[in-house]
Structure 1
Amino acid sequence: MQTLAQLKAGELRGITHLKISEQLTEFPMEILDLAETLEVLDLSGNQLNAFPAEFAQLTKLKIVFASNNPFTTLPEVLGRCPNLEMIGFKSCAIKKVPANSLPPKLRWLILTDNNIEQLPDTLGQCVHLKKLALAGNQLTSLPQSMLHCHELELVRISANQLTECPDQLLSLPKLAWFAFSGNPFSQHNLELDTVPCVDFSQLELHHVLGQGASGVISKATWTYNEHQLPDEVAVKVFKGEVTSDGYPNDELQACLKAGSHPNLVKSLAQVQQPDNLALIMDLIPSHYQNLGLPPTLATCTRDTFPADFSLEQTQIDKIVQQMRDVFNHLHQNKVCHGDLYAHNTLFDRDANILVG
């Protein structure tokens, strides 16, 4: 991360990446002096609510992040940036997305956790768009013009106000990841009792095993094990806020509805308290590891792998067969996973897999 003082002193000339978070209330015009080289601009975590018209001078800019700023309108000037591919304005206060705010080369648009009620028809002109994250808004419909977004691969529309599934998305030829929970058309308001409810005070959390957008997973033991569950368990404590996948309770209920399968991480119990929402699961054996690594900014929707990673054909065949079995099981239980990725899959040396 750089500082505003460095920028004003001219010490950052020639850089390609700039990140400043100092509660800025105005866009630092000195950023324009970096126009010949600047490709990535991150102004997240400030107090900005607008970009100047001169922002379009950043002709080399490919990526802009401005999450956690009090924008109410997505800046129109973004649409005049000729090489801008990635836009991230998460957790702002955006209500309006102007028709001219979407640049011609847009591949990745993140507008999670805002107040957007409507998107412009010009979204359908974004023919390079691959990833679209709109969870946690107030959308009641999506533009029919999205029929033309033939490159779109990943869509998150969870936690909106959609009363019916946007059918135009279902005809997109490359759509592979689709999350839509927490909308009126998909909401059933069921609290499943397929596993027992326990009090959070019955658990003692130990070290963190991992974390994601929706919660933190820790190793835990019981202070009172009334249901005779395994002594050591994994506990996912949900963060209680909207994520790219929607509301935490929707994720919890989906895990419970998924039922039991040899290739699913087993759910053992749940915590349903106002200040604590948690899922208690089997502790995954330590010899399991992630099948892949998450996508990068460059790969957008595609997982990455270590350079020396390889599998035998027999291992691949076994993994694919298990994937087919577990997803048939989920679909029979009317659960759409929506996030099948190598980085969300665990495997061992015998090519046995576990999916969460």
Structure 2
Amino acid sequence: MGCCNSKGAGDSSAGRVARWRSTGIVALRDSKLRALPSEILAVESFVRTLDLTNNRINEVTPEISRLVNMQRLVLANNLIEQLPTTIGVLRHLKVIILDGNHLTNLPEELGFLSRLEKLSITGNSLVCLPETIGNLRNLVLLNVSSNKLKCLPDSIGGCISLEELQANANVIEELPSSVCSLVHLKLLSLNNNLIQQLPQDLLKSCKALQNVSLHENPISMEQFQEMEGFQEFEARRKKKFDKQIDSNVMMSSTGLDEGLDK
């Protein structure tokens, strides 16, 4: 297995392992790793955070299941093509970040991660999401932007805690009606897709929704404004930005963006 490309005099293998055991944090960014170092597996239950961002890892070993108490798994900007089914064993995971890899699908076992709160898989080649994603009832943020998704699974409505759903730059043509069950959803961002219409009850049912972004889609502003619940949605959106202005919160030039092209 791979290891760090260089070792300082005060950073021996034993020293790193001792530090990992003490802090619970394994951070090996930009280390030119090609695989998960065996030293990490030796630490096992002590690991709470594993950050291997910006390496050359192309495979996640099934043995990662030995890190049974891990809460944060950050593998952004590697060469990973698939996840092992054993990831479903890691029931303490709260955060998974897999941005900038080569994933084309996700294992069904992902749905076993009942404590997961944040899942970010941008910049991959996903063509679909597993139906089991609907079992992630504590998921607050899902970002699957810049993939090859044609749709979201019907089960997405099961993610009852979801507050932020980003799926920009895909080829999604429509949303499943189950998104209307996401009563805590605050942000829905679907820029650069192929969406011609939204579920009719979206604005009516998602009463927490404050921000909808649909730029570069066939849907028109007129269609959006004619949806039931639009006036209430618009009131929430303006209230949010008025509150930010009153609090002197810095906003970008798109702060009052209406979310659709004219």
Compute the TM-score of the two structures, normalised by the length of structure 2: 0.70
> What code does the residue aligned with 2:83 have?
L
Q: Are 1:45 and 2:54 an aligned pair?
A: yes
Q: Which residue of 1 aligns with 2:187?
A: 177
Greater strand content:
1
Cα deviation for residue 76 of structure 1 reads 2.5
Q: Compared with structure 1, are the counterparts of its residues 83 and 49 closer, same or farther at alpha carbon in structure 2 (3 Å cutoff)?
A: same
Greater helix content:
2
Match 1:165 to one of 175, 184, 191: 175
Q: Are 1:8 and 2:8 an aligned pair?
A: no
* Rounded Cα–Cα distance in structure 1 between residues aligned with 2:116 and 2:75: 16
Match 1:62 to one of 67, 71, 75: 71
Q: Are 1:72 and 2:88 an aligned pair?
A: no
Match 2:120 to one of 106, 110, 117: 110
What SS does the aligned partner of 1:147 have?
Answer: helix
Cα-to-partner distance string for 1:239-265 (whole Å, 9 max, x where unaligned) = xxxxxx999x85xxxxxx9xxxxxxxx
Q: Which residue of 1 aligns with 2:40?
A: 31
Q: Are 1:136 and 2:146 an aligned pair?
A: yes
Q: Aligned residues, how many?
A: 212
Spell out the pairing of 1:101-250 with structure 2 (5 A cutoff).
101-102=110-111, 103-185=113-195
Q: CA RMSD in A?
A: 3.2
Cα deviation for residue 327 of structure 1 reads 2.7
Cα deviation for residue 52 of structure 1 reads 1.7
Cα-to-partner distance string for 1:31-69 (whole Å, 9 max, x where unaligned) = 022223211110010011112222111111000000101
Cα-to-partner distance string for 1:318-351 (whole Å, 9 max, x where unaligned) = xxxxx949738xxxxxxxxxxx689x94556xx6
Q: Compared with structure 1, are the counterparts of its residues 32 and 354 closer, same or farther at alpha carbon in structure 2 (3 Å cutoff)?
A: closer
> What code does the residue aligned with 1:35 have?
E
Cα deviation for residue 157 of structure 1 reads 0.9
Greater mean deviation of Cα atoms: 75-84 or 42-51: 75-84
**1:65–1:88 CA contact under 8 A, matched in 2:** yes
Question: Unpaired runs of 5+ in structure 2?
Answer: 198-211, 222-233, 256-262
What SS does the aligned partner of 1:36 have?
Answer: helix
**1:79–1:104 CA contact under 8 A, matched in 2:** no
Q: Matched residues, percent identical? A: 24
* Rounded Cα–Cα distance in structure 2 between residues aligned with 1:18 and 1:346: 40
* Rounded Cα–Cα distance in structure 2 between residues aligned with 1:341 and 1:114: 33
* Rounded Cα–Cα distance in structure 1 between residues aligned with 2:138 and 2:237: 32
* Rounded Cα–Cα distance in structure 1 between residues aligned with 2:155 and 2:236: 36
Q: Compared with structure 1, are the counterparts of its residues 29 and 183 closer, same or farther at alpha carbon in structure 2 (3 Å cutoff)?
A: same
Compute the TM-score of the two structures, normalised by the length of structure 1: 0.53
* Rounded Cα–Cα distance in structure 1 between residues aligned with 2:164 and 2:63: 32
> What code does the residue aligned with 1:94 have?
L
Q: Which residue of 1 aligns with 2:258?
A: none
> What code does the residue aligned with 1:11 have?
R
* Rounded Cα–Cα distance in structure 2 between residues aligned with 1:9 and 1:353: 47
* Rounded Cα–Cα distance in structure 1 between residues aligned with 2:144 and 2:66: 28
Cα-to-partner distance string for 1:110-162 (whole Å, 9 max, x where unaligned) = 00111100111111111111110011111111111122111111100111111
Q: Which has the larger radius of gyration?
A: 1
Q: Compared with structure 1, are the counterparts of its residues 47 and 171 closer, same or farther at alpha carbon in structure 2 (3 Å cutoff)?
A: same
